[in-house]
Amino acid sequence: MLRIQRDTKIGISLLYFTDTELDAMTIIRYYKARFQIEFIFRDAKQYTGLMDCQSCRKESIHTQINASFAALNALKLEDLREKNTDNQTVVSIASWKRRKFNQHLMCRIFEKSGLPMSNEKVMDTYQQLSGYGAIGA
C-alpha cells in the first residue's frame, strides 16, 4: 500500500505485484515506467495513426508502426526545441495537431490569395492565429 500526503489530503494506492522479493520503491518505479509506455501507445493510436494500417504484409505493418512512433518522437522533439529545454515536459498532442492544422490552412489561404508569407502583416496574423483553439494558446 502506498500513502501519498499532499497538504491535508492523503491518497492511498494499492500496487499489486507477483514478485514478493521486490522492494516498494522498485515496484513504484516499474508502475511509473509502465504508465509512461501506456501514454506513448495512447498518443500513437489517437494522433499518429498507429492503428490505421490496412495491409496484411509484415513489412508494411512494421513500416506503419515505425512511422507512427517516429512522428510522435519528432513532435516531442519539436516541443522541446520550442520550449528551449532539455527537461521532460507535458506535451499536448491535441494542441500540436491543432496548431499544425492552423498553420497549414493559413499557408494555403495566403498562397491562394497571392499574399507572400514575407509580408509583415501576413506573418503577424500567422503568428497570432497559429495557436487558435490550442490549449495554452
C-alpha 25, offset from chain centre: 27
> Is the predicted pLDDT of residue 137 greater than 50, yes or no?
no
* Per-residue pLDDT reduced to its tens digit, 78-93: 888 888 887 777 788 8
> What's the CA gap between 97 and 133, in Å, rounded?
10
Q: What is the pTM for the complete model shown?
A: 0.65
pLDDT at 1: 57
What are the extents of the domains in the chain? 92-137
Sole residue written with cell 504508465: 35
Kindly tell me the number of DSSP H helices and DSSP E strands found in the chain.
Answer: 4, 2
* Per-residue pLDDT reduced to its tens digit, 26-70: 888 888 888 888 888 988 998 888 998 899 999 999 999 999 999
Q: Where are the beta strands (DSSP E) in the chain?
A: 2-6, 9-13
